[in-house]
A and B are shown apart, each in its own frame.
Chain A
Amino acid sequence: MSMIEFQDVQKYYGDFHALHDINLTIDAGETVVLIGPSGSGKSTLIRTINGLETIQEGKLIVNGQDLAERKTDMNRIRKNVGMVFQHFNLYANKTILENIMLAPRLVLHRPEDENKKFAMDLLDRVGLADQAPKLPAQLSGGQQQRIAIARSLAMKPKALLFDEPTSALDPEMIDDVLNVMKNIARDSSMTMLVVTHEMGFAREVANRVVFMADGRILEDDSKEKFFDGQPSNERARQFLSKIITH
C-alpha cells in the first residue's frame, strides 16, 4: 500500500519552476533516500509532504488523503507524518522532556503518566535519558538531533521525513544520529524519506535511491542497481562518483 504518492506534481515560486512533473510512490514501510545537488528541489519536495510547502498542480496523496484538496486537514496529516530538520528546531523555551511530551499532550491528549513513560523510553532509545531536565541549548548538535527524532517518534507517526538531518553536525556526531535512524529504518513498519548525502546510510538501510536535479526526478532505482550497477542517467552517475570518492 502506498503511503506517499506524487502524481504529476508541479510547484512554482513565482516564475521559478521548483518541482517539475514529479511522480513518485513510496510504499508503507519503505526507506527511500533522496539525493541531488543543492538547489535541486529535494528539500522543497520533502516539505510538500507535510504541507510546509504547497503544490500548484497535480495530486499528492499522503496516508490516503489528497493534500491538494481544500478540505484536507493538514493537522491530521501532520499527526501521522513526523519531520526532522537540518537545524533540529527543538523548542528553545522547553526542557528536553517537555519537547517530547508537548505535542502528544496537546494534540493526542495522551494521559500524563503514559506520556511521560513513553517519552522516557524514547530518550532511552536515543541514549539521552540523563538529559531530560536540560534545555536544548545546553546540548550538542548531535544530541539535539537525536532529541528531535525522539520528539517525532513520540507522536507514533506512520512516516518520518528527514531533511538533511546530519548536514549541520560535526563529523564525530554524525554516526550517533545515523545509528538512531538505522534502527528506525530496520523497524519494517516505519515509512522513511531521507534527504541526505550519507551514502553509507543509503547502502545499509535504503530500499531505493531517488536522484533529483533542477526540480526533476532523474533516477529512481533500487539500492542495488544504484550502487552496484550503474544509474542510467548521466548526471546521476557523475554526482554519485563525486560523493563516493569523498
Chain B
Amino acid sequence: MSTFTRDSTSTSTGSTSDGTNGPTDGTSDATTTEANRRPRLSGMTWLVWRQHRAAFWTTLVATALLVGWIVYQRGQLVDFLDGYGYPGENLHEAGGRFQQYNDAFSFVSTGLQALPILLGVSLGAPLIAGDLENGTAKLVAAQSMSRTRWLATKLALVGLVVVVSTGVLSAVFGWWWNPVKSEATVMEWTSGAAFNTTGPVPVALTLFSVFGGVAIGMVLRRTLMAMVVTFGFTVVLQLVWSDFLLSLGNVVTVTTNKGVTGENTFPSLPHSAHEIDQSYVTGSGDLLGWSTCRHAETDAAQQACLDKADVVGWSVQYLPMSQMNAMQWFGASILFALTAGVVAFIFFWGRKRLF
C-alpha cells in the first residue's frame, strides 16, 4: 500500500502505479526505468492481450517446443542421410533403418494437420463468445473506445498469434522435409500430410478456421456451444479441402502411340508426379478404360481385341510436383479471400447485432 500513500501526496494527474504489481505494470513515467526496458502494450491492445494471454502464450510456447523438436529431428535425419550416402543410395533399400525417420514425419504432420481444428476451437470460438457470455463485452462497450476498435484489436492479435505460430511451423516443417521431398515413401506431395503442412496452406487453413470460430461464437454467444460448432465447422473444412485439393492444379495429359502391350509403351512421368488417371487412347482420339480387352484369354486374342478397338496408346493424366507451390498459393488465396469475407461479416454483425 506504500505506493498509494506516495501517490496520494503527488499532484500528478492520473499517473499512478498499478499497486502491488510492481513497476513493470506502472505508468510510462520517465522515472520508472524498468518499465521502459521492455515494450509495453497500451490501450485496447493491452486489454486484449491481458485477457487472452494464457491462450496466446500457450500457443506460442507450444509452437516453440514443436519447432525445437523439428530442428532436432532434422539434425538426426541429415546425419542419417549423410551416413547412408543419400541421394547416391536408394532409400528404398534402407528398409527398417529409415522407419523411425518416416514415423517422425507422420507424427508431426498429423499434429500440424490438426492445428486448424485445435486453434479454431481453443482460440477462435471463445474469443468473443466468452465476452458475450460473461457480460464483459458490455463492460468494454461502456468505456470510451468504439466497438469496432475492440473487434479489430481482438482479430488483429489473435490473427497475429495464429500467423506467427503456423507460419513458423510451416517454414520449419518444410525445411525438415526438403532433403527427402522427392521421396514418395516419406510423404506424397499431394497428400494432406505434405500439402497442408507446408507453404502458405497451414497459415491460410488455420486463419480461416480461427476467424470462422470467432464468427460462430459471436452469433451463438455461448462459449461451449461455439466450441462444439466450431469443431464441426473445422472438420468439415478439412474434408472439403482434401476433396478439393487436386483441382487446384492444371492437369497435364500425356499420350503415346506405341501401343499398350509391349515393353516401355507406358509414358514416363516426371519424378514424384501424381498420377490422376490412365486410359487407352484410340486412333480417333477417344479414351477407353485400361481394362478394355483384359478378359481375353490369350495375348493374341487381346491384341486382336485392341486392334479392333483401334487402341494406339496410353493417355495418362498427372500433376507434376513443380506445380505444388503454385497450387498451394492458389488454394491459400482462396482461403484468404474467404477469411476476408468472414472478417467483414464479423464487423457487420458487431455494428448491427452484437448486443
The answer to whether A and B come from one shared complex is no
